[in-house]
Each structure stands twice: as C-alpha cells, then as structure tokens.
Amino acid sequence: MIDNRAGATDHLAGELFKTMAGVNMVHVPYKGGAPAGTPREIVGRLNGEVAKILQMSDVRARLQESGIEAASSTPEQFAAYIQSEIKRWAKVVREAGMRAD
C-alpha cells in the first residue's frame, strides 16, 4: 500500500482494507501523485488485478459490511477524479482561509 502521509485517512483506509481482506501489504510512504517512474504497463496490470479483486464476491461482501462500495476505474479516470477533488477542496480551503500549520 502506497500513500504520502503516514497516519492520514488514506493510510488508515489501506490498513482497514488489509484487515478486512485478510491480506498482507507493506505501507510505502512516498511524495508525489504516483510513484515516479512506474511504467504504464505496471500501472495497467495493477489496475486490472485490483479490478478483478474488487469483483470477487467475498471481497465485495466484506467491504459492504463496513459500508464500502467497491468501484474501479481506469488509471486515466482516477487521475481525472483526483484532479477534480483537488480543485473542489482547494476552493474550500481558499474560501475558508485555511492554512497549514
């Protein structure tokens, strides 16, 4: 599991997934939007494998028990979603006058 903030919600969500799915993953913190230099073929394969896993009835059932709806997308769709979320939350932060401590 890779994220850029140890202890943040994405890290915690990964730990929850790990526990619920009964899998062993290693937390790898990094800086940036994606691990730099990851070949597109690798990203595509990981995306395909995760999509298959999310279609497994036992995995879906375990996620749904916790109120999580499994969904998958292409890497390009996910990148577009992230950009839209950055735009949305940047506006909230700006309008609220929030600052990082």
pLDDT in tens, 77-89: 988 998 999 899 8
Per-residue b or e along 52-80, where b marks 16 or more CB atoms closer than 10 Å to that residue's CB: eeeeeeebeebbeeeeeebeeeeeeeeee
Residue 31 confidence class, pLDDT cut points 50, 70, 90: low
* Higher pLDDT pick, 42 / 25: 42
Asked if residue 1 has pLDDT above 70, the reply is no
Indicate the DSSP class of residue 14.
H
Asked if residue 34 has pLDDT above 90, the reply is no
Residue ranges of the domains in the chain?
2-72
